[in-house]
Chains A and B, each alone.
Chain A
Amino acid sequence: MYYIISKIELEGTDNLKYSDYGTTTDIEIVNQINEDYDSTLGAFLGENRTKIELGLVSVSTFFESTPFVYEARTQVDNVEGLEVLNITNLNEL
């Protein structure tokens, strides 16, 4: 099983943009990426979800201090033909 490492950036003023950055089979890398996500963008969305839906808060606020984050919560069983990096070390991100 492979994990897709997604790079998440701000798209326009109020949307998220996902792009495939790499793949890994290393569950320790996956867990570290997702812990980092949960403590940054994940925490921001958790605290502000309803306000964002109502237009009272913009997700752009988060990206004022952080240009992008990674998340690895997509599992696939075939990466043939995907033109992405094979990540074996967190320093490659």
Chain B
Amino acid sequence: MLDCLTPRFDIERFGMLLAPSIKHADVLLVTGSCNRKSAIRLKRLYEQAPKPCVVVAIGECSLSRGMFIHSYNCPIPLDKIIPVDAYIPGCPPKPEAIISGAVKLIQKLKGTL
């Protein structure tokens, strides 16, 4: 996912930048399955983000916990913790897939999809 910020895939040309704090963020990208410890913090983070805040779930592990579905430490999938607006499947998703998902999201928000 950090590859998207680098010169080859440059997600900045679509208008996305890495924000230094959750209070300046419009989009929350989540990767990986949420376990018991991180679910509480993630909820708190989402509440701190100024609304409207869009949530994007990246990778199989955040879609439905992927292969960690039977793990004792990952009880619920991401969309039961916070509302998710876009899903990007893949394990791991290629940077091109992430950019394609981001562009679809922007079009959806603008109403042109």
Same complex: no
- Name A's B-contacting residues (CB within 8 A): none
